[in-house]
Structure 1
């Protein structure tokens, strides 16, 4: 179903974010993300030869996190292909502080502490929430594929349940696919999952 028809308008900005997850041969996973911002018009810019042309990347930043099966970060690398200021690239080494952290509850708050404000690049840091989801999907999918979707404890409540509207323990989706986990009451707490 498409969005409703908008009023007459003109494009002012495009942001594209792509995340990809890779299973490595050494037992780890690489999660890569890229953010690209473009404008449909040209404008002056001193650091980029005097001008950024229409549809030329204003921002083009990439980040790679290497994680293990527990989502602990083993390596982190940030690069900037395009930015409005040459000085933007000076922040890249800061992202090595991610090594040893685990993608887990509290992740977004921890990143604000480490890279908020002048401690990081706004655009690179914005990639982390999307990358966390991609990491869970990548690692979890790889492990499930290896286990051929066999749940070692079919009576337990899978961790991905009760994490969104469609997967609420009281939803018809859970009733159909995970009937053992279904709870008809809307008052199920996240503590009930353990």
Structure 2
């Protein structure tokens, strides 16, 4: 299956190759996550949080912790050796936590994210044997929540506070940020 990536130099794009991240991937992962969510580079894509938060989205220590987590992994999507997207998966009992989902801004909207999410669901369900996947999304990210809902996630109405005062997660631009938990039963559309 071939798709075309839109942009100034549209080019045919093959399916990405998936692999588990190693500690050697940490610097590239930090760059990818930051570019997808913060700063000017993030505004090229639709997943930016630049209107809600300043500062960093993650750091090398946090990414290295996710990469080395005993009950988890960071999944990479690459094409021709280029890092396109990533996500974190962590086993939590009968569920898998899905986080750190990032797609290079110029590739957002081109189907890479759907492929990464599908591979994460497959891995969690088939290889780990868990029944559902959960995540937290900033409640004010209505467009992003709607994207997840179209992929079978449901809003739970369970909220957790944003870590105000901990600049490792960014500097909020508004006082009402909080996370909402989303859940998807695996094996459903």
TM-score > 0.5, shorter chain as reference = no
Larger Rg: 1
Structure having the higher strand fraction is: 2
Query: Structure 2 length normalisation: TM-score?
Result: 0.31
TM-score norm. by structure 1 comes to 0.30
Q: Which has the higher contact order (CA 8 A, sep 6+)?
A: 2
